[in-house]
A and B are shown apart, each in its own frame.
Chain A
Amino acid sequence: MADTVQPRDARDVEAAVQWALAEGKTVEIVGHGSKRAIGRPAQTDLTLDLSALTGVTLYEPEELVLSAKAGTPLAEIEALLAANGQQLAFEPMDYAGILGGVAGRGTIGGALAANVSGPRRIKAGAGRDHFLGFSAVSGRGETFKSGGRVVKNVTGYDLCKLIAGSWGTLAAMTEVTIKVLPRPETEQTLLILGLEPARAVEAMTCAMGSSCDVSGAAHLPAGVAGRIAADEIAAGAVTALRLEGFSPSVAERARTLEALMKPFGELATAEAPRSRAFWTAVRDVIPFAADRSNLSPLQDERPLWRVSTAPSRGAELAAMIAKGAQAQTFYDWAGGLIWVALGASDDAGAALVRRAVAATGGHATLIRAPASVRAAIDVFAPQDGAVAALTKRVKESFDPKGVLNPGRMWAGV
């Protein structure tokens, strides 16, 4: 078991990385550890626990910006924003359900390092789109910053984009600045009942191609829908379209959307509280949550894949996978995000999933699987020669000795 150190401030982080460099040691960066089971398993000499770097350092609601130390709990930030009628528009998902952890954990730094998002991704973007600036310590043991604290900035390279989704392999963030946005006054969800996936994708395409400003479009096939809610949803497949905003606007768009969706099937409406609960469940992939009936919830390591593709190819991709294995799927992002749960196997179904993705375009990430499987196969999308080489050079430009989270994304990166 690796030693764990818990820096008290950014200077401690720098000192720890410099020590690791001098000793030729490797470092795993963690916040709350809520996403620790994602990626290739870490085998590092030291664990750098950033969860003591906490506190919101700047919050100006009318400027739409918030800065916080990287280890600040996401829940604390979300509560502060909610008290001011604001939110993180990228709707960060909570991995606790599917990974078997404690709900509501996770830090802002971790959310950005994993570039998390939620159903609103199709309208408001992911963490990357709201990430304005940061301070960090590179794998060279040097403190550097990028970006700023204003929402519009093109000064220098946009390193925020690169750090978002780099899973701690480039730098250890110590403080971040993000764009925050008003929380919608209300929401409601239009449900279309009983559609087959291909038809559901058509319905979602039609809705997204309207001016109704749909902020969530998901399809839960029969057998999956029932795991989210009772009543009419439990009976069969459900296609859900979320409308958010000011009340008069939501009401008008709901009328328009209902007229558009009528030809597709039977309709129902979920008002605000039910709508909210539904989308939280979709966001957190509750249909494929870890089985907690087991004495040790962490034992549930049935393979779960997160696949991003062109929305119009979503149903086709899922059908290809279902031909080759017992698969359960559901669709978010109007068909562009597919969660695929498979039975246990040596490669967690990688060959099958990767073949399907190669046919439709996109990328697949193995979100849940036993550590032994994650060590043996590519967890993140395999890269072709030129991109793989560029990725390696980018890693080396921040972390030439491979100190930070080595091998978390790919072997040798």
Chain B
Amino acid sequence: MSLAMPAPDQAVLARRERIVAALRAIVPGEGVIAAEREMRPYESDGLTAYRQLPMVVVLPETTAQVSRVLAFCHAEGIKVVPRGAGTSLSGGALPLTDGVLLGMAKFNRIREIDLANRLAVVEPGVTNLAVTEAVEHAGFYYAPDPSSQIACTIGGNVAENSGGVHCLKYGMTTNNLLGCELVLMTGEVVRVGGKHLDAGGYDLLGIITGSEGLLGVVTEITVRLLKKPDCARAVLVGFASSEDAGECVAKIIGAGIIPGGMEMMDRPAIHAAEQFVHAGYPLDVEALLIVEVDGPRAEVDHLIARIEAIARSCRASTCRVSASEQERLLFWAGRKAAFPAVGRISPDYYCMDGTIPRARLPQVLKRMRELSETYGLAIANVFHAGDGNLHPLILYDANKPGELERTEKFGADILRLCVEVGGVLTGEHGVGVEKRDLMPAMFSEADLKQQQRLKCAFDDKGLLNPGKVFPTLHRCAELGRMHVHAGRVAFPDIPRF
């Protein structure tokens, strides 16, 4: 592992036993884990290439405990890494050797379901899917649906601003929240939002969402609920080229249609998925689109007909409309199994997550094929086509010396390519440690410093999840320094009135 993390604080490590004892006084019983063997499950998250044992694992059960743990760590200068279910694909929950790993799994209760106001108040350790399961008897659901939704938690979703296949139409996590309770690194408990829309002041909820656990620890979240659409149907469309598929996507959106989901797969991904789940995907195509529309029956039927016509006008070689709910789910089964399907044909795979302006897709795919040859590593692509979020899967074998390092270089090249064509480093997986050192490809030093100044407003000592998101750590005092040239700046030559 070539990743440079913040230098361990030897003074903290030297006090480890006293620190563990103090934490046990705050979180009694089995809530503090200090034995190496028992800490093993926490050494990595979904980005398993990186592993690190924490100094100690703490599993609080109440906001008061979280507050006391953070206040203690703040006073003692101890780093803290928050963790939900540990499904991050960017290493957001990677522990620090001199840090407390703060696991929020015990915050697993749904506190309130308020269907009149179409919301639920949940603890951060509740899984994404559990929210929907708790309200679906009444026909409601929670819209953001990251593919890890069985396991990933709402707290983690808030930290990462998680998306999913439906976010072009229904938004990401940030568009589906109303409020939260947040514990700052000092132990202060702050309530933001509530059951109403919009903040009364600065949109602190908006800035906490997607902050990757660097600003505070969320202990309660109020999420919006939506009524389930009456029905959904999907169309499976094959194309002889990714250009044709891209044109079809552009024309669907150009026709004023925002599908509930619109996914694209390239030839290697289609073949891997078909071999795995036998979804009936055509194997003689270069690109496959799954377009799903949801809503009342009349709307769905109307739009399916329009999408079919658009697909044919874009030279679709195959076009199948789901005739039953079973068939619709089968169309999705292949897409949803694309990652494990690729896992079957390769010992390991590395999942990337850039976003590009959709029109640049053919160019990006072509360049990726060239890179694939250069690096001697195969690649398969799945793509949230509606919003331009690309998930290239690089196939590699970690047991072959040097192959992981080559894979990481290839991945970095892909992300730089995304930025070059006007896109971004990450669409939904987060920066974490994975893309941290690529941040300067997208942001200037001034951009990054302003973001870090904001972090200082929440965490003056830089103790919360340091080493994530930002490639260079600066002390808050240094970031705050101003060079004001009192009386020495001439009034600029600007039109005056």
| A102 vs B155: C-alpha distance when bound (angstroms) | 46
In the complex, which residues of chain A have a beta carbon less than 8 angstroms from the beta carbon of B453? 397-398
Compute the total of residue contacts between A and B using a CB distance below 8 Å. 318
In the complex, which residues of chain A have a beta carbon less than 8 angstroms from the beta carbon of B189? 386
Q: Which of A74-130 contact B (CB under 8 A)?
A: 85, 115, 117, 121-122, 125-126, 128-129
**Is B207's beta carbon under 8 Å from chain A?**
yes
**Is A407's beta carbon under 8 Å from chain B?**
no
Contact with B along A383-409 (1 / 0, CB 8 A): 100110011011011101100000001
Q: Kindly identify which residue among A5, A142, A246 contacts B495, using a CB–CB cutoff of 8 Å.
A: A5
| A394 vs B492: C-alpha distance when bound (angstroms) | 28
**Is A211's beta carbon under 8 Å from chain B?**
yes
**Is B337's beta carbon under 8 Å from chain A?**
no
In the complex, which residues of chain B have a beta carbon less than 8 angstroms from the beta carbon of A246? 299, 302-303
In the complex, which residues of chain A have a beta carbon less than 8 angstroms from the beta carbon of B469? 156
| A12 lies within 8 A of B201 (CB) | no
What are 9 A-B pairs with beta-carbon distances under 8 A? A60-B359, A64-B253, A65-B357, A143-B446, A146-B447, A151-B387, A152-B428, A159-B207, A252-B297
**Is A302's beta carbon under 8 Å from chain B?**
no
| A158 lies within 8 A of B210 (CB) | yes
**Is B97's beta carbon under 8 Å from chain A?**
no
**Is A162's beta carbon under 8 Å from chain B?**
yes
**Is A8's beta carbon under 8 Å from chain B?**
yes
**Is A192's beta carbon under 8 Å from chain B?**
no
| A142 lies within 8 A of B446 (CB) | yes
Name the CB-closest residue of A to B384: A152
In the complex, which residues of chain B have a beta carbon less than 8 angstroms from the beta carbon of A6? 494-497
Interface locus among B21-29, B31-39, B267-275, B482-490: B482-490
In the complex, which residues of chain B have a beta carbon less than 8 angstroms from the beta carbon of A309? 195-196
| A23 lies within 8 A of B358 (CB) | no
**Is A7's beta carbon under 8 Å from chain B?**
yes
| A126 lies within 8 A of B197 (CB) | yes
In the assembled complex, how far is the CB of residue B481 from the closest CB belonging to chain A, in whole angstroms? 10
**Is B456's beta carbon under 8 Å from chain A?**
yes
| A165 lies within 8 A of B168 (CB) | no
| A157 lies within 8 A of B211 (CB) | yes
In the complex, which residues of chain B have a beta carbon less than 8 angstroms from the beta carbon of A128? 198, 203, 206
Name the CB-closest residue of A to B206: A161
| A122 vs B450: C-alpha distance when bound (angstroms) | 32
Interface locus among A202-210, A287-295, A339-347: A202-210
In the complex, which residues of chain A have a beta carbon less than 8 angstroms from the beta carbon of B258? 181-182
| A12 vs B496: C-alpha distance when bound (angstroms) | 12
Specify which of B191, B202, B203, B299 lies most central, judged by the most chain A CB atoms within 10 Å of its CB. B202
**Is B235's beta carbon under 8 Å from chain A?**
no
Q: Kindly identify which residue among A60, A150, A205 contacts B356, using a CB–CB cutoff of 8 Å.
A: A150
**Is B115's beta carbon under 8 Å from chain A?**
yes
| A115 lies within 8 A of B203 (CB) | yes
Q: Kindly identify which residue among B195, B228, B423, B449 contacts A148, using a CB–CB cutoff of 8 Å.
A: B423
| A398 lies within 8 A of B450 (CB) | yes
**Is A380's beta carbon under 8 Å from chain B?**
yes
| A146 vs B491: C-alpha distance when bound (angstroms) | 28
Q: Kindly identify which residue among A8, A146, A205, A365 contacts B116, using a CB–CB cutoff of 8 Å.
A: A205
| Known interface pairs A151-B387, A387-B192; A249-B296 also in contact (CB < 8 Å) | yes
Specify which of A6, A140, A397 lies most central, judged by the most chain B CB atoms within 10 Å of its CB. A397
Q: Which of B261-316 contact A (CB under 8 A)?
A: 295-299, 301-303
Q: Kindly identify which residue among B167, B228, B496 contacts A152, using a CB–CB cutoff of 8 Å.
A: B167
| A345 vs B399: C-alpha distance when bound (angstroms) | 77
| A352 vs B228: C-alpha distance when bound (angstroms) | 39
In the complex, which residues of chain A have a beta carbon less than 8 angstroms from the beta carbon of B482? 21, 140, 400-401
| A252 vs B297: C-alpha distance when bound (angstroms) | 8
| A399 vs B199: C-alpha distance when bound (angstroms) | 21
| A164 lies within 8 A of B206 (CB) | yes
Query: Is the contact region of chain B dominated by helix, strand, or loop, or is it mixed?
Result: loop
In the complex, which residues of chain A have a beta carbon less than 8 angstroms from the beta carbon of B384? 152
**Is B320's beta carbon under 8 Å from chain A?**
no
Name the CB-closest residue of A to B415: A155
* B interface residues, Cβ below 8 angstroms from A: 114-118, 139-140, 160-161, 163, 167-168, 171-172, 174-175, 184, 188-192, 194-207, 209-211, 227-230, 250-251, 253-254, 256-258, 295-299, 301-303, 355-359, 384, 387-389, 422-431, 435, 439, 442-444, 446-451, 453-458, 469, 480, 482, 484-492, 494-497
Specify which of A23, A158, A312, A401 lies most central, judged by the most chain B CB atoms within 10 Å of its CB. A158
Q: A21-B484, A152-B163, A161-B203 given; name 20 further pairs at CB < 8 Å.
A: A19-B490, A21-B482, A62-B250, A63-B359, A121-B198, A144-B449, A150-B357, A152-B168, A154-B429, A154-B430, A157-B455, A158-B174, A158-B209, A159-B451, A165-B201, A208-B118, A246-B303, A310-B114, A365-B200, A401-B484
| A394 lies within 8 A of B253 (CB) | no
| A398 vs B194: C-alpha distance when bound (angstroms) | 26
| A22 vs B491: C-alpha distance when bound (angstroms) | 10
In the assembled complex, how far is the CB of residue A92 from the closest CB belonging to chain B, in whole angstroms? 14
| B174 lies within 8 A of A161 (CB) | yes
**Is A4's beta carbon under 8 Å from chain B?**
yes
In the complex, which residues of chain A have a beta carbon less than 8 angstroms from the beta carbon of B358? 62-63
**Is A185's beta carbon under 8 Å from chain B?**
yes
**Is A362's beta carbon under 8 Å from chain B?**
yes
In the complex, which residues of chain B have a beta carbon less than 8 angstroms from the beta carbon of A227? none
| A209 lies within 8 A of B257 (CB) | no
In the complex, which residues of chain B have a beta carbon less than 8 angstroms from the beta carbon of A158? 161, 174, 206-207, 209-211
In the assembled complex, how far is the CB of residue B282 from the closest CB belonging to chain A, in whole angstroms? 25
| A115 vs B295: C-alpha distance when bound (angstroms) | 29
Name the CB-closest residue of A to B162: A154
In the complex, which residues of chain B have a beta carbon less than 8 angstroms from the beta carbon of A196? none
| A125 vs B203: C-alpha distance when bound (angstroms) | 14
| A410 vs B190: C-alpha distance when bound (angstroms) | 19
| A205 vs B206: C-alpha distance when bound (angstroms) | 26
| A397 vs B356: C-alpha distance when bound (angstroms) | 31
| A5 vs B425: C-alpha distance when bound (angstroms) | 38
| A380 vs B203: C-alpha distance when bound (angstroms) | 13
| Known interface pairs A381-B201, A397-B453; A211-B296 also in contact (CB < 8 Å) | yes
In the assembled complex, how far is the CB of residue B227 from the closest CB belonging to chain A, in whole angstroms? 5
| A23 lies within 8 A of B487 (CB) | yes
In the complex, which residues of chain B have a beta carbon less than 8 angstroms from the beta carbon of A55? none
Q: Which of A333-390 contact B (CB under 8 A)?
A: 333, 336-337, 361-365, 380-381, 383, 386-387, 390
In the complex, which residues of chain B have a beta carbon less than 8 angstroms from the beta carbon of A200? none
In the assembled complex, how far is the CB of residue A231 from the closest CB belonging to chain B, in whole angstroms? 29
| A149 lies within 8 A of B167 (CB) | no
| A22 lies within 8 A of B489 (CB) | yes
Name the CB-closest residue of A to B190: A386
| A166 vs B201: C-alpha distance when bound (angstroms) | 7
| A152 lies within 8 A of B389 (CB) | yes
**Is A72's beta carbon under 8 Å from chain B?**
no
| A19 lies within 8 A of B489 (CB) | yes
